[in-house]
Amino acid sequence: MIHYKTEEEIELIRLSSLLVGKTLAEVARHIKPGVKTIELDRIAETFIRDHHAVPGFKGYGGFPATLCISVNEVVVHGIPGNRELKDGDLVSVDCGVILNGFYGDSAYSFAVGEVSEEVRLLMDRTKESLYRGISAATAGKRTGDIGFEIQTYVESFGYSVVRDLVGHGLGRHLHEKPEVPNYGKRGVGTMLQPGLVICIEPMINLGGRSVVQEKDGWTIRTADNRPSAHYEHAIAIMNGKTEILSSFDEIEEVLKLNTQTKQ
Question: Is 1 a domain residue?
Answer: no
In a domain, 171, yes or no: yes
DSSP per position, 159-217: -EE-SS--EEE-SSSSSEEEEE-SS--TT-SSBP-TT-EEEE--EEESS-S-EEE-TTS
How confident is the model over 129-177, as pLDDT tens digits?
999 999 999 999 999 999 999 999 999 999 999 999 999 999 999 999 9
pLDDT score of 185 more than 70: yes
Task: Provide the 10 A C-beta neighbour count for residue 111.
Answer: 17
Q: Which domain holds residue 244?
A: 7-262
Number of domains in the chain: 1
Q: What is the CATH number of the domain that holds 136?
A: 3.90.230.10
Q: How far is CA 76 from the centre of its chain?
A: 9
- In a domain, residue 118? The reply is yes
Beta bridge partners of 94: 68, 107
Residue 134 makes CB contacts below 8 A (sequence gap 6+) with: 146, 200, 233, 235, 242, 244
195 assigned to some structural domain: yes
Residue % of the chain over a pLDDT of 70: 99
Share of the chain above pLDDT 90, in %: 97
- Quick check: 71 pLDDT over 90? yes
Q: Find all residues with CB under 8 Å of 136, minimum gap 6, and list them.
A: 145, 146, 148, 149
pLDDT of amino acid 263: 63
Exposed/middle/buried for residue 229 (C-beta within 10 Å: 0-12, 13-18, 19+)? buried
Please, which pLDDT band fits residue 32 given cuts at 50, 70 and 90?
Answer: very high
Residue 193 CB contacts under 8 Å (≥ 6 apart), including other chains: 4, 139, 237
Q: Is residue 155 domain-resident?
A: yes
What residues are paired with 168 via a beta bridge? Answer: 199
pLDDT band at 261 (very low <50, low <70, confident <90, very high): confident
* Average pLDDT over every residue of 6-11: 97
For all residues of the chain together, what is the average pLDDT? 97
Confidence bin at 240 (pLDDT 50/70/90): confident
pLDDT band, very low/low/confident/very high, at 222 (cuts 50, 70, 90): very high
Residue 2 inside a domain? The answer is: no
Within 13 Å of residue 37, how many CA atoms lie on the same side as its CB? 25
pLDDT for residue 262 is more than 80: no
Task: Please write the tens of the pLDDT for every residue from 111-136.
Answer: 999 999 999 999 999 999 999 999 99
Predicted confidence at residue 258, as pLDDT, reads 85
